[in-house]
Amino acid sequence: MAPKCRDPGSHRGRGLRRYTGLLLPLLLVAALLVIAGLLAGGRGGHTVIVDRGTPATEQDLRERRGPLVDEVVFTQQQDAGQVVGLIERGSHQVFAQGINRPALFQRLRDSAATAYDLSYGTSVELTFNPSGPEFSDGRLNPFAVPAMREAINWLINRRHIAEEIYGGLAVPRYLPLNTAFPDYARLAEMARELELLYGHDPARAREAIRREMQNLGAEWVHGRWMYNGQPVSLTLLIRNDDERRRVGDYLANLLEGEGFRIERLYRTAEEASRIWIVGDPAGGRWHIYTGAWISTLIQRDQAENFSFYYTPRGRAEPLWQAYQPDPDFDAVADRLQRREYSDWEERQDLMRQALSLSMTDSARVWLVDQLNVWPRARDVTLAVDLAGGTSGSNLWPYTLGYAGRQGGRVVVGMPSLLTEPWNPVAGSNWIFDQMITRALNDPPVLPDPFTGLFLPQRIERAEVTVREDAPVIRTLDWLSLDTTEDIEVPGDTWVDWDGAEQRFLTADETAPEGLSARTRVRVYYEPDYLERRWHDGSPMSMVDVVLPWIMLFERANPDSPLFDVAHVPAFEAFQRHFRGWRIVSESPLVLEIYSDQIHPDAEAIVANRVPGVTAWHVLALGILAEREGSLAFSSNKADRMRTDWLSLVSGPSLPVLERQLHRASEIEYLPYAETLAHFTDSGEIVARYRSLADWYAARRHFYVGSGPFFLQSVHPVEGSAVLRRFPEFPDPSDKWLRFAEPEIPELTLDGPVVVTHGETATFLLEITLDGKPYPEQAIQDVQYLLFDGDNRVALRGGAQYQGEGRWLIRMDEEAFANLPMGANSLEVAVTSDRVALPAFASHAFATVAGSAPPEPIEVTP
């Protein structure tokens, strides 16, 4: 599943190119910072001196191992207005905060010291508290009723929000599909119908609100809603650190006009998180939250969005566990999450159903997709994701550096740091926290920042086999794709876990009659995959691979001390498609994973199956702490246990984990030893805990990864974190430097402004890049939609290539036969192999009546 993060974040800065027609993304918190004495541990008055390293040749970069820079300092800054000045003064080089203020963008664009990138993956929405219809104290929550939430779609004016609040750096969004991603273009006809249905209509909104409020037992008294003799008060939890403050005020004014008393609760990211994420929805501390999301990679397949945003399967937090979707919607969302369809048309039909049902549910009301501008110093280079921007980029740790140089330090500013606890099981989902932790880990595959297709990082190759009825395609040559009539699961495959006996159950034990699957993935890891070392110096082992799988089952087992009720919905969804995994070889490591879940891209099937590694000796401390009730991996369980949410890097968790480290060392603790002892020995256990103790003594945190950077120090009070280059990282520094600038098609659509009934019409589309024809072989598809004056689709079709980047759309007289007289429009969507974002263009024209033919004259013989 493509990662989605709460709150965010570029296309290289050669000028802001806006999509013509529909689309573009992003929101976020305002940000940036003044560094002062951070390395000395204070905020006092010394500017950090930035070391830009030394000149380097291409040969130097090939010979250097690991990151291009030696150190990255993250600091917290919440004033986006300072961005240009801080970069110009040299105290900061990168800001992990997307800018969407037109005036600030102009300053950034005009500065000689700055450059920028663009991204299209952030959205702004209204999150509703679904608990009720009464909170635990008896107060009314009207938004427990889906029809009340649905009415807000008609109440708000998305175009006003996009143009007036976001200054044109956003486009209206109605659906749980990002308008810049492929699925929106594929489902454009359905999308436009729903956008028309749910367009701004205050009269319809008022009618629905009054009907539902009366059904709830509320009374309209002197222009105000009353319930049990008290005014109906709504608490709007409004983020005050970006444009969402204005969004919240806009909504508050609208709701006050509908007869509600409004409490405006302005909060920062961290303050708001404690209310809407960690808090119990039934407590009634909020009714509506001004939410924002960022996709950290191009989502080529958004089928999981419905489960993620509208069902308890989405996340473990209390809010998601309060969702109660309509059974029909829940079933469709579940089928899409598991990819339970036999062909592409069935998949599209399920997507259409889910889109319609999601609007009826409206647990979230989508507002806009943002275009975000990501600032950096002009001499800084890094791979920026077209969806996630800088903070969402998976490749930033592998590509960050100074042009033509190596070594040195980069200072990165972000609006929020250490927002929620960090742990690898159910830790922080905040984009800024995850940006840092991505640098500390090294996954088996990484997404292409421009197409969203996955590329191998720690695997040599993969073999994907699917049943003949599975609609799957392969694009890249690092993997193979085969089809077969049936896929039998071998008898020794691990398919389940016995918590009592602490061992995996095989297919032979659980399904003696035989077990089949829809997909099989065989993953060949790099030959030395388990010969690497963790940041604390510990050698890797198979325990690092197997323990996370055990925990997946243990946390769903009611008899386990690790049981977490919030984990159950996601686990049940996983269990419905999981058919087992087996170790083919330990050295070199080769694994097979069986599942009934498919993805349209074979590359995504591998990415969603391939296991990575987690340092087992770190997980062990958390397991001991949760078993004794002193910490919990998830916020939901921490709240229910009335204990702390486990953090490996700061806060009250650290002394608890230190105590568990002493205990684990004394008893040579190995979790689930009945299974894991096969993969390790006493010597490794002792050495692991000794290395971790030395690590903690030196750095005062327990975050141990294997990525290109290690976490040198964390300063929660000062709001900073320091990362340093991991000298044992195996890759050459130039491995991922090929990802420079995305080749987004530029469209120009021309044609007649008046079309006469009974005549043909020709429209010319030019597709270019930097003024040159876009290569025909890179174009996947050119589709058009013809809309009538009521924005209904009258015709759809494809364009014909004419050469030199020119495409022709020719329509005969029948195409216009059913169009009414007056304004109409033609919209074109272009998809490319080189970037996953569709490009759009539109052309408006008028249809007029033709000259009537002379009526026949009767001739009398």
> Which tens digit of pLDDT belongs to each residue from 421-447?
999 999 998 889 999 999 999 999 999
- C-alpha 282: how far from chain center: 27
Taking alpha carbons only, the member of 292, 120, 279 closest to residue 742 is 120
- Residues 299, 831, 106, CA angle at the centre, nearest 5°? 75
Specify the number of domains making up the chain. 3
So what's the pLDDT on residue 43? 32
Is the pLDDT confidence value at 859 over 90?
no
Q: What is the mean pLDDT of residues 694-710?
A: 98
**The token pair that represents 113 in the structure block:** 């010291």
> In this structure, are residues 424 and 614 in contact, taking their beta carbons and an 8 Å threshold?
yes
The proportion of the chain whose per-residue pLDDT surpasses 70, expressed as a percent, equals 93
Taking alpha carbons only, the member of 404, 458, 527 closest to residue 708 is 458
**The token pair that represents 577 in the structure block:** 């498609």
User: Which of 5-14, 41-50, 603-612: highest mean pLDDT?
Assistant: 603-612
**Which position has the higher pLDDT, 813 or 633?**
633
> In this structure, are residues 446 and 395 in contact, taking their beta carbons and an 8 Å threshold?
yes
Query: What's the CATH number where 805 sits?
Result: 2.60.40.1930
Parallel, antiparallel, or unpaired for β 94-95 and 409-414?
A: parallel
**The token pair that represents 413 in the structure block:** 């500013």
Q: Kindly state the DSSP code that residue 760 receives in the 8-state scheme.
A: -
**The token pair that represents 663 in the structure block:** 């205990």
Range of the domain at 791: 746-848
So what's the pLDDT on residue 34? 30
So what's the pLDDT on residue 22? 33
Q: Is 407 domain-assigned?
A: yes
C-alpha torsion sign, points 529, 535, 541, 542: negative
Q: Is 807 domain-assigned?
A: yes
Q: Is 857 domain-assigned?
A: no
Q: Is 825 domain-assigned?
A: yes
Other CB atoms within 10 Å distance of the CB of residue 330: 20
> Are 552 and 678 within one domain?
yes
Q: What is the mean pLDDT of residues 496-514?
A: 96
pLDDT band, residue 20 (cuts 50/70/90) = very low
Task: Provide Rg for the chain, Cα atoms.
Answer: 28
> Are 146 and 90 within one domain?
yes
> Are 726 and 613 within one domain?
no
Q: Is 759 domain-assigned?
A: yes
pLDDT band, residue 3 (cuts 50/70/90) = low
> Are 671 and 717 within one domain?
no
So what's the pLDDT on residue 29? 28
Is the pLDDT confidence value at 413 over 50?
yes
- For 614-627, how does the pLDDT look when each residue is reduced to its tens digit (9 = 90+)? 999 999 999 999 99
> Are 550 and 412 within one domain?
no
Query: What's the CATH number where 51 sits?
Result: 3.10.105.10
Is the pLDDT confidence value at 724 over 70?
yes
Q: What is the mean pLDDT of residues 637-642?
A: 93
Q: What is the mean pLDDT of residues 384-396?
A: 93
The residue to which tokens 């070889």 are assigned: 585
Is the pLDDT confidence value at 506 over 90?
yes
Burial class (CB in 10 A: 0-12, 13-18, 19+), 859: exposed
Taking alpha carbons only, the member of 380, 499, 160, 386 closest to residue 839 is 386
pLDDT band, residue 4 (cuts 50/70/90) = low
Q: Render the burial of 349-370: b for 16+ CB within 10 Å, e for the rest.
A: ebbbbbbbbbbebbbbbbbbbb
> Are 210 and 127 within one domain?
yes
Is the pLDDT confidence value at 852 over 80?
no
For the chain, the average pLDDT equals 90
Is the pLDDT confidence value at 853 over 60?
no
Q: What is the mean pLDDT of residues 359-388?
A: 94
> In this structure, are residues 687 and 36 in contact, taking their beta carbons and an 8 Å threshold?
no
So what's the pLDDT on residue 40? 32
- For 758-771, how does the pLDDT look when each residue is reduced to its tens digit (9 = 90+)? 788 899 999 999 88
So what's the pLDDT on residue 6? 60
So what's the pLDDT on residue 603? 97
The residue to which tokens 């799988």 are assigned: 549
Rounded CA-CA distance 669/622 in Å is: 12
> Are 678 and 556 within one domain?
yes
Is the pLDDT confidence value at 732 over 70?
yes
- For 557-571, how does the pLDDT look when each residue is reduced to its tens digit (9 = 90+)? 999 999 999 899 889
Q: For residue 6, what is the enclosing H or E element?
A: strand 4-6
pTM: 0.81
So what's the pLDDT on residue 88? 93
Q: What is the mean pLDDT of residues 193-221?
A: 96
So what's the pLDDT on residue 656? 98
Rounded CA-CA distance 691/535 in Å is: 10
Rounded CA-CA distance 745/559 in Å is: 55
Is the pLDDT confidence value at 12 over 50?
no
So what's the pLDDT on residue 760? 87
Is the pLDDT confidence value at 861 over 70?
no
Q: What is the mean pLDDT of residues 484-489?
A: 96
Q: Is 448 domain-assigned?
A: no
Q: Is 853 domain-assigned?
A: no
Rounded CA-CA distance 732/604 in Å is: 26
> Are 138 and 258 within one domain?
yes
Is the pLDDT confidence value at 353 over 90?
yes
The secondary structure of 727-756, three-state, reads CCCCCECCCCCCCCCCCCCEEEEECCCEEE
So what's the pLDDT on residue 254? 97
Burial class (CB in 10 A: 0-12, 13-18, 19+), 500: exposed
Rounded CA-CA distance 705/500 in Å is: 31
Angle between helices 244-257 and 146-155 in degrees, nearest 10:
110
> In this structure, are residues 711 and 696 in contact, taking their beta carbons and an 8 Å threshold?
no
The proportion of the chain whose per-residue pLDDT surpasses 90, expressed as a percent, equals 73
> Are 156 and 205 within one domain?
yes
So what's the pLDDT on residue 102? 82
Q: Is 447 domain-assigned?
A: no
Q: Which of 719, 737, 755 is the last residue of a domain?
A: 737
Taking alpha carbons only, the member of 460, 449, 372, 472 closest to residue 415 is 372
**The token pair that represents 256 in the structure block:** 């006050």
Q: What is the mean pLDDT of residues 623-646?
A: 95
> Are 57 and 172 within one domain?
yes
Q: In the chain, what is the straight-line distance between the N-terminal and C-terminal CA atoms, in Å?
A: 81
Burial class (CB in 10 A: 0-12, 13-18, 19+), 824: buried
Three-state SS at 174 = coil
Is the pLDDT confidence value at 230 over 50?
yes
> Are 278 and 408 within one domain?
yes
**Which position has the higher pLDDT, 120 or 24?**
120
Rounded CA-CA distance 724/497 in Å is: 39
Is the pLDDT confidence value at 302 over 80?
yes
C-alpha torsion sign, points 317, 321, 322, 324: positive
So what's the pLDDT on residue 317? 87
- For 81-101, how does the pLDDT look when each residue is reduced to its tens digit (9 = 90+)? 888 999 999 999 999 988 878
Taking alpha carbons only, the member of 98, 213, 143, 191 closest to residue 838 is 191
So what's the pLDDT on residue 49? 60
> Are 339 and 357 within one domain?
yes
- Residues 460, 466, 472, CA angle at the centre, nearest 5°? 85
- Residues 496, 499, 504, CA angle at the centre, nearest 5°? 35
